[in-house]
């Protein structure tokens, strides 16, 4: 046996599907009062973790955009 190790392939990028990212099953994400979503403006009774009105899918899309922007900024600053 040799002392060399086989290199593993990098992990595959997880496939994003709407509705997978956040878990809002807890009742704290629900309100009796309908307010406009902070992202799309449509009425919603859902609340995000800061208790601001937001649809789950709108919040997930915003998180996806923020993550992509952070990754771009990281790569533009010479990081790998």
Indicate the pLDDT class of residue 55, thresholds 50, 70 and 90. Answer: very high
| Encoded tokens for 9 | 């392939």
Strand (E) or helix (H) holding 55: none
Burial tier of 22 (Cβ tally within 10 Å: 0-12, 13-18, 19+): middle
Asked if residue 15 belongs to a domain, the reply is: no
Buried b (16+ CB within 10 A) or exposed e, 50-75: eeebbbbbbbbbeeeeeeeeeeeeee
- Which domain, by its residues, includes 60? 27-76
Region of residue 78 (phi > 0: left; psi between -120 and 50: alpha; otherwise: beta): left
Asked if residue 20 belongs to a domain, the reply is: no
What's the domain count of the chain?
1
- Evaluate if residue 17 carries a pLDDT over 80: no
Q: To the nearest whole percent, how much of the chain has pLDDT over 70? A: 70
- Evaluate if residue 70 carries a pLDDT over 80: yes
Indicate the pLDDT class of residue 40, thresholds 50, 70 and 90. Answer: very high
- Evaluate if residue 36 carries a pLDDT over 90: yes
| Encoded tokens for 55 | 């649809």
């Amino acid at each position: 046996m040799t002392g060399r190790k086989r290199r593993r392939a990098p992990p595959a990028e997880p496939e994003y599907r709407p509705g997978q990212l956040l878990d809002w099953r807890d009742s704290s994400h629900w309100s009796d009062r309908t307010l406009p979503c902070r992202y799309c403006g449509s009425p919603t009774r859902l609340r995000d973790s800061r208790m601001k009105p937001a649809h789950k899918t709108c919040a997930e899309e915003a998180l996806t955009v923020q993550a992509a922007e952070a990754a771009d900024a990281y790569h533009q600053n010479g990081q790998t």
